[in-house]
Structure 1
Amino acid sequence: MAAPAAAKGVLVDLGTRAGGGGRGQAPQGEGPDPHRWRALWVTLVAGFMILLDVTIVAVALPSMQRELHASAAAVQWVVSGYALAFALILVTAGRIGDTFGRRRVFLLSLAAFVVCSAGAGAAPTIELLVVARLTQGVAAGCLAPQNSALIQQLFRGEERGRAFGLFGATVGVSSAVGPVVGGLILALAHGAHGWRWIFYVNVPIGVVALLLGSRLLPRVAPGGRGRLDPVGVCLLGAGILALMLPLVLADAGGVRRLWWLFPVGLLVLLLFAGWERRTVRRGGAPLLDPGLLTETRGYATGAGLGSLYFVGFSGVWLVFALFFQNGLGFSPLMSGLAVTPFAVGSAVAAAVAGRLVERFGRLLTVWGLVAVMAGLGSTAVVLWLAPADRAAWYAAPALLVGGLGSGFVISPNVTMTLRDVPVRMAGAAGGALQTGQRLGGAVGTAALPGLFYLTLSATRDDYHDAVALAIGCGLAAMVCAFAVAVLDWRRDRTADHRHCPPETSHSHTHASHG
């Protein structure tokens, strides 16, 4: 990956570093890949599937438990096992794509995901279903970082912002509509076996994406060194496992029983950081170049912002589901439809944000976070005060505002975080960014529902108090993300004024290095 002198090289503009990075990068006089937009849609469909599978399964857990005669703890692994395997492999898979070719890793991972989806749908026992979900999570984690890396490879300048806008819309919408899609599938697929179609539906979509991907994705010679960092892989995997395992087992008392894994995980990650610095000093190829965090403009703050945002973003969806289904008696489908305004707003705003990020830069995420905090704060107040039979209707406008803000957070943050990352590191960098988001999501999905239940116990089943307090705590994480965004925006303004000539220093154009 990077030799000692290469650590500083991460600051060099992608336009001069990308030579050989792919047809879409137009190195050495080559034009842009004519298939780049169709290739993007293939990657987005695959990305939508793997992210949707994080949340879509939750509504079908009762049906799985009844048919397979499983315990609550065992069936919970159908959700938590997928999320855990997904997060564990992200950085390593990104590095593998950088080294051996993103097209190859994307297609192999997508094929494995389709096979595992079919296996999960056909599983006759809970044990085989959990195994299928674990392997499906590994395949999804291998595929995910290739998406952002292929965008880096295929697009430059304003086109890259638009592509990341669509990517951000995919992330936001897939997270939000999982319960809706799951409820629809269960409503259409009658009978005890209806839950199996939640997995089977991936098969035809995945096969079509696989065929199109094999035709449209660019064939580019691998640009990295043909070896990995096995010690780094083991240290990073052990650290992430230690941090995430108590969180994904929170419903079974994992945080209470396994709290000691948190300091262990932090210690292992510190050892990982030391090992990576040692590898760079010795001229080796690290799993994750330390220069990404220490010398790449905007990467560390963008990764931190994304992690903090996903604490609140991921956690509130479970809180909404608990409130609408357990508190108000909604069906899974109606519960999902109640929060659809957020998903719609997020999709629209993310696509628009992709066209504006080159002009406004980090300022988009600042204003986006203001809108998210205003929308979710208003939603908390409405659900706290509104009568049960009108709560969903009254909350819809506030959720729409929050969704519009979210669209201006996720996709611009991805663009701004990865803008100065050399294409040769794009997979590992994208994997690390998504790992932070998965960790933040795990914290949110463990902490906010836990607080919801604690409030119910303290208030004798007052669901309105519980939902308002849990959303309020999710907002606290978003306030922290807002502080990071403001600091990064101010730093960018200072840097732009320092490097721009006096006559252009007040330009609204953000210095974005495609």
Structure 2
Amino acid sequence: MSTTALSGRRTRTTALVVILLASFMDLLDVTIVNITVPSIRAELGASPAQLQWLLAGYTLAFALGIITGARLGDLYGYRRVFLIGIAGFTAASALCGAAPTADLLVAARVAQGVCAAVMVPQVLSQIQLMYAPHERGGAIAAFSSLSGLAAAVGPILGATLLEGDWYGLGWRAVFWINVPVGVLALAVAARVLPRGRGTTRPRLDLTGMAICGAGLLLILYPLIAGSEHLPWPTWTYLSLAAGAAVLALFLLHQRRLALRGGTPLVEVSLFRMRSVGGGLLVQFLFFVPVMGFFFTFTQLLQTGLGMTPLAAGLTMLPWPIATTAGATLGAAVLLPRLGRATVQLGLLTLAAGLTLLALTATSGGLAFLPGMIVGGAGMGLTVAPLAQLTLERVPPAHAGSGSGLFNTIAQLGASAGVATIGTIFFPVLAAHPGPAAPAYGTAFSTTIWASLALLTLTLAVTFLLPRRP
């Protein structure tokens, strides 16, 4: 290998590390803030509504903005938009750390979510730009492992920062830690990221932005806020129905805009690709039970079994480790040989892991280890090959649009998962008064059986995927 080729490969690896670090910062901020809620309430006197929006505001802003953020990359360049996003995310993190009131903290969290929506879609777009199709397996495997890693590391890091009370910052340290990391990532990214973008003209569809944002808001808001009131109020169903209608109107607008020679926010031609249409459906169905599992398992560990956040995080740590191994094996080794059967194998492995966890729900400790390893490996075998099968055939000019759709569907599935699995978990919990461990164990196991039914449906839908990458 020539010196120039070796240098180019090292630069590409450095670029991959930087964009994955930025994506990890976003995912970590979703999980790490949960542990700070009691401290924030005590110091800032935050109301229950403010605490709810401290968590939901970020998620909602991210989900609403991610399609637009992805399209900005297509129009103005993935490198430029990524740098703007990470700079804004770093600045918003500093504002969170310095916020003197709960209202300003919520506003800064919303700003964080908006900047994350600009930054994160460029990650998959950059991977598609930097790596040829046959080289993407390892990079996509690493990207796909981040969510499980953040779910485990978030509580551990959050508890460490709170208990250590570094420099007297208390809960503010979970936000300030993003600042030096963000500055470093920004400086390195400016040097190593390739300058590339699609061939479309720089004209943003503002009407489409408004329609899409309204539709997603009508769907996501009831999933995030309405699900806390069981049974669901009537307005949640009305909002969901209205949201579906508005999104249908959005797709119609996008199609007409494309026919007129305009630049739509979403490239509607992607939906005619079997790999994209099938992959997005599998992505949604997959994230419903998976994110529902993370939500209820955390409840079981901390409230049902009385674990500290640190102990709960350590208990969950085998999951992301196994996810990383499974993602690497699935994307780099099995997918080229087995094609979509890799995703199907992953779903079956995940189902086996969840079954083991349901059977040991009240045991705790090392009894969870087999289920965590098997389930985590199953998730890795699913997510990385699924991303590759879905986005493999997307033209480079529409890489941002494809990435935005993929990430938005994941957000919708995650929100739907917490909401729908929660509607099973909490009524079962309420129907079993008495000691916490048996009650939470029964509620958790019940949600797992429902999740297995959803995974069975997901397995059936995988036959819509192309047989080979």
**TM-score, with normalisation over the residues of structure 2?**
0.93
- Rounded to whole Å, the distance in 2 between the matches of 1:64 and 1:251 is 23
Alpha-carbon distance in structure 1 between the residues aligned to 2:397 and 2:26: 24
Q: How does 1:283-432 map to 2 (within 5 A)?
A: 283-294=261-272, 296-356=273-333, 357-383=335-361, 386=362, 390-432=363-405
Cα deviation, 1:236-271, whole Å, max 9, x if unaligned, reads: 111111000011114653942433110110000110
Which residue does 2:456 correspond to in 1?
479
Which residue in 2 is equivalent to 1:189? 165
The residue correspondences of 1:19-34 to structure 2 (distance < 5 A) are: none
Q: How many angstroms does 1:32 deviate by?
A: 7.0
Name the amino acid aligned to 1:349: G
2-structure distance, mates of 1:171, 1:476:
23
The CA distance in 2 between the partners of 1:207 and 1:95, in whole Å, is: 25
Matched, 1:214 2:187: no
Structure 1 equivalent of residue 3 of structure 2: none
Q: Are the counterparts in 2 of residues 382 and 391 from structure 1 also a CA contact under 8 Å?
A: yes
List per-residue Cα deviations over 1:116-147 (Å, max 9, x = no partner).
00111111111000000000000001111100
- Whether contact under 8 Å (2:78, 2:197) holds in the other structure is no
Unaligned runs of 5+ in 2: 1-6
The answer to whether the Cα contact below 8 Å between 1:70 and 1:126 also exists between their aligned partners in 2 is: yes
Q: Which 10-residue stretch deviates more, 88-97 or 311-320?
A: 311-320
Superposed counterparts of 1:87-236, under 5 Å: 87-189=63-165, 193-220=169-196, 223-236=199-212
Q: Does 1:469 align with 2:446?
A: yes
Cα contact 1:121–1:197 (8 A) shared by 2: yes
Instruction: Report the CA distance shift for 1:193/1:453 in structure 2 as closer, same or farther (over 3 A).
Output: farther
- Displacement of 1:194: 1.6
Q: TM-score, normalised on structure 1?
A: 0.85
Whole-angstrom distance in 2 between the partners of 1:56 and 1:278: 43
CA distance in 2, matches of 1:172, 1:330: 19
Structure 2 CA distance for aligned equivalents of residues 100 and 181 of structure 1: 36
Q: Tell me which of 15, 18, 28 is aligned to 1:42.
A: 18
Q: Deviations over 1:4-60 (max 9, x none)?
A: xxxxxxxxxxxxxxxxxxxxxxxxxxx977622211111000010111111211111
Cross-structure match for 2:4 = none
Hey, what does 1:11 align to over in structure 2?
none
Please give the root-mean-square deviation of Cα atoms over the aligned residues, in Å. Answer: 1.9
Gaps of at least 5 residues in structure 1 are: 1-30, 494-509
Rounded to whole Å, the distance in 1 between the matches of 2:197 and 2:282 is: 34
Matching residue of 1:86: 62
Are the aligned partners of 1:33 and 1:154 in contact in 2 as well (CA < 8 Å)? no
Q: Which amino acid aligns with 1:415?
A: Q
Please tell me the residue identity of whatever aligns with 2:195.
Answer: R
Is 1:267 the counterpart of 2:245? The answer is: yes
Tell me how far 1:167 sits from its aligned partner: 1.1
Please tell me whether the aligned partners of residues 172 and 410 of structure 1 are also in contact (alpha carbons under 8 angstroms).
Answer: no
Is 1:297–1:420's contact at 8 Å kept on the other side of the alignment? Answer: no
2:43 to 44, 67, 70: 67
Letter in structure 1 aligned against 2:73: G
Partner residue of 1:442? 415
SS of equivalent to 1:259: helix
Contact kept in structure 1, 2:129 and 2:196, CA below 8 Å: no
Give the corresponding residue for 1:24.
none
How far apart are residue 232 of structure 1 and its match? 1.3
Q: What displacement does 1:221 show?
A: 5.8
Task: Give SS of 1:105's match.
Answer: helix
Q: Report deviation, 1:193.
A: 4.5
3-state SS, counterpart of residue 284 of structure 1 = coil
Equivalent AA in structure 2 for residue 220 of structure 1: G
Residue identity over aligned pairs, in percent, reads 37
Give the drift of 1:450: 3.6
**Paired residues of 1:380 and 1:471 also in contact (CA < 8 A):** yes
Q: Distance in 2 between matches of 1:409 and 1:331?
A: 30
CA contact (8 A) 1:165 1:411 kept: yes
Length, aligned pairs only: 456
